Structure 1
């Protein structure tokens, strides 16, 4: 089968995250099973317009927001390419609207229904109100009008429930939980000598990074023996705002901004940290939670979509009310005081993480695409 995947970001993109990793892992599995896969995605500075990764043919054109969608449609309609048997139309707020220009078999791939995430867009005020209102208003109509009868593949029960709420039939939705790609040393290192709270992910507004720093400040106010890490890529403007906040809270000397790190370094830091703080406002699954669990690091985060799927309260971590960074701080302090409870969560977290492998996820997605 010849498969075309349309995604706003691809391998190597500076803003690529867990969703892009998931797409590539499934694509590689399909290639290994004998299918041909082309990934059409956005371009970025320094990128090759065409290359191959794990047998997946990658074609880049257009910017990540609207340009890639227009270029994909034009390339499909008038460009030179083989006939595709299946088109995977990947959602990230806005899909590729493939029902408008092709009758080929389709699979909609979605990690999360954006919903309120539209309100956390990075546009400057007051222009940020444009996507905040238009995205929130039009998103559910896109599902109902264009994708109601198209099969969906998603990563969590939370996203499935959102899709059902917006008119997609439950029987048209297949949930395939993500695997994890491990970069572990033969023997895990001991935790840091100082209690260490870590944030890992995109340094952006919707990921709750301001609440992460505020939680660090609350911890420091009650116990000044901790240290704090923020790991991930973000714009200079957003990082500077977080640094200013840490200065205002009097914790700038305790907060280390690691920026982007390699996968190997990421797992090293996760293994050294005591707690992963995840104050994201909305997720599809949140792969970082399982990655943290794999090295025995419990997660403390908000009780929101995605996190309530990947975190098992009082087993692999702790969930608190959304927006309550005070509770994140309090639970972090409490957990570090209760050694027996902490070790129980560590052991459960390691066991939980072993349930998620790419071999299993690829096998399930392969069965899905071959059944369409």
Structure 2
């Protein structure tokens, strides 16, 4: 099967590098053993226009001059590529901020991967361009004839928004299981993910930690993951204004080995997002044997089993988040039990299994089922 997979994001993209890009790479590197795969992504500073990795041909289109132009030029050039490039199946990782368009004859051989709705948050986060993103989301959920949702919550949303009788398949995100290592507990709570202050709710996490700090002065907060210099400076400024800069560590990007080392030493992890498709970090936390505190939002309510693998609190509520953090800090037995259950839960989401499930959707699409 000749597969053309379009997705703006890229695992090496310094502006994004999120879970969607990880998913695309993990699935495609497995399917490349049997299929011919071209991954078409957006360009970014320092990126090669073309490379081959793990059997995948990666092509990057557009400009890497700045983030906005990168997204806009990707939308235009990826849409043009779809008109001429040969493929048996087009896999379209939808992004409301960089939509791709195809002629109906080409769109008929497509599967759209939909991570999470952003319309409400798009208009709040970006008042101008957010309206266009919301419109693109509404249009594309009705245009495509077969859709993969990355969580049951996303599938439910799509069933309300897509055309009647559109096949919607739930194929969750996976997790790369950590190397065997003894779990330990150091003096820190861990947030791992992209340093997106709004999306990931880091502007809620920092005030929650400020509330917690007086009762637990020896506990640190480690924020690990990729972020632009502007975002890192913003988080440093927030920490300083809250008087907690001495207890907050920003690691910047970390290697795979460093990531699992941080998970292994954490007391527990926090994922206070405003919106998620699934929440890979929540499953990674479980894979490392660590409890996770997340928010009661679509996606995370699927990835976290409340009272079994972690705790859930209302989104945008620093007081509730601080209370849950305090509860786990005071109860080592609860942390251990949640972490043990989380490890068993995470075992259900290997990338090998996820890739097989996604491949079955591709085959059904080409067979017209």
Is 16-25 or 165-174 further displaced after alignment?
Answer: 165-174
Match of 2:74 in 1: 68
TM superposition shift of 1:298: 0.8
**Residue 245 in 1 paired to residue 238 in 2?**
yes
Q: Equivalences for 1:1-372 in 2 at 5 Å? A: 1-14=1-14, 15-32=16-33, 34-63=34-63, 64-78=70-84, 81=85, 83-93=86-96, 94-99=98-103, 102-119=106-123, 121=125, 128-144=126-142, 146-147=143-144, 150-169=145-164, 172-184=167-179, 186-192=180-186, 194=187, 196-204=188-196, 205-372=198-365
Query: Contact 1:198–1:229 (CA<8 Å) still a contact in 2?
Result: yes
Structure 1, gaps ≥5 residues long: 122-127
Q: Distance in 2 between matches of 1:52 and 1:60?
A: 12
SS at structure 2 position matched to 1:10: coil
Q: Distance in 1 between matches of 2:12 and 2:134?
A: 29
Structure 2, gaps ≥5 residues long: 64-69
SS at structure 2 position matched to 1:117: helix
Output the TM-score relative to the length of structure 1.
Answer: 0.91
- Alignment CA distance shift 1:137-1:40 (3 Å): closer
SS at structure 2 position matched to 1:98: coil
TM superposition shift of 1:112: 1.3
SS at structure 1 position matched to 2:128: helix
How many residues are treated as equivalent by the alignment? 356
SS at structure 1 position matched to 2:24: helix
Query: Contact 1:294–1:350 (CA<8 Å) still a contact in 2?
Result: yes
TM superposition shift of 1:138: 4.7
CA deviation map 1:242-265 (0-9, x unaligned): 212211211111100101111111
Q: Distance in 2 between matches of 1:232 and 1:264?
A: 13
Q: Distance in 2 between matches of 1:211 and 1:317?
A: 18
Q: Distance in 2 between matches of 1:170 and 1:306?
A: 23
- Alignment CA distance shift 1:321-1:244 (3 Å): same
CA deviation map 1:306-355 (0-9, x unaligned): 11010000100000111111111111111221222222111111111111
Q: Distance in 1 between matches of 2:209 and 2:46?
A: 36
TM superposition shift of 1:98: 2.2
- Alignment CA distance shift 1:142-1:359 (3 Å): closer
SS at structure 2 position matched to 1:70: helix
- Alignment CA distance shift 1:168-1:23 (3 Å): farther
Query: Contact 2:83–2:102 (CA<8 Å) still a contact in 1?
Result: no
Is 289-298 or 330-339 further displaced after alignment?
Answer: 330-339
- Alignment CA distance shift 1:351-1:170 (3 Å): farther
Q: Distance in 2 between matches of 1:287 and 1:301?
A: 12
SS at structure 2 position matched to 1:129: coil
SS at structure 2 position matched to 1:160: helix
